[in-house]
């Protein structure tokens, strides 16, 4: 089983989309191992978005991600990284397919509702920023035997 990091950004939280997004991930067959509702500090934001430090949009990104509460989560499942990214849709909601989270609910690239790790390496790094290993809860879904082979 693979793990991935997902964060519902301040726009998803303030628009009341947390339940809808969690429901989509659960219905896909993924399993939540951890969740934290929090306001990100500038320090956490800078560690999370370290790869974007020298990009022109970085200051606006930090301002946005620290502007309100987020829901940080760890999800597990077969090929969880790619599955979640498919459910989430392309970064720019205008290019995201209908049926994806961004395609159905997003409007602009700078406020695109959700972050999802882009690789298993990124997932490990991002999970470690937000959660300790002891905070990940191991459990078994009732339908797990039907969702992985």
How far is it, in rounded angstroms, from Cα 45 to Cα 99?
Answer: 29
Q: Is 80 helix (H, G, I), strand (E, B) or coil?
A: helix
Report the predicted TM-score, pTM, of the whole model to 2 decimal places.
Answer: 0.94
Q: Of these residues, 48, 115, 126, 131, which one is catalytic?
A: 115
**Number of residues written out for the chain:** 149
> Would residue 52 show up in a list of annotated catalytic residues for this protein?
no
Domains and CATH numbers, the chain: 2-139 (3.30.70.141)
**Buried b or exposed e, range 43-56, using 16+ CB within 10 angstroms:** ebbbebbeeeeeee
Residue 31 pLDDT:
97
Q: What is the mean pLDDT of each run of 10 residues along the chain (149 residues)?
A: 97 98 97 98 95 92 96 97 98 96 95 97 98 97 82
Among residues 28, 3, 14, the alpha carbon closest in space to that of 124 is found at: 3
Q: What is the DSSP letter of 133?
A: G
Q: Quick check: 32 and 7 in contact, CB under 8 A? A: no
Among residues 83, 71, 95, the alpha carbon closest in space to that of 22 is found at: 71
């Amino acid at each position: 089983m693979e793990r991935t990091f997902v964060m519902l950004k301040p726009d998803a939280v303030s628009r009341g989309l947390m339940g809808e997004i969690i429901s989509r991930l659960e219905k896909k067959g993924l399993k939540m191992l951890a969740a934290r509702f929090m306001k990100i500090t500038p320090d956490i934001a800078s560690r999370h978005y370290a790869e974007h430090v020298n990009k022109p949009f970085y200051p606006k990104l930090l301002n946005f991600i620290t502007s309100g509460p987020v829901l940080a989560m760890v999800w597990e499942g077969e090929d969880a990284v790619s599955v979640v990214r498919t459910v989430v849709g392309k970064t720019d909601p205008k290019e995201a397919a209908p049926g994806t989270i961004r395609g159905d609910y997003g409007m602009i690239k700078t406020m695109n509702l959700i972050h999802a790790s882009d690789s298993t390496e990124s997932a490990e790094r991002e999970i470690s920023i937000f959660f300790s290993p002891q905070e990940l809860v191991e459990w078994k879904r009732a339908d797990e035997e039907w969702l992985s082979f």
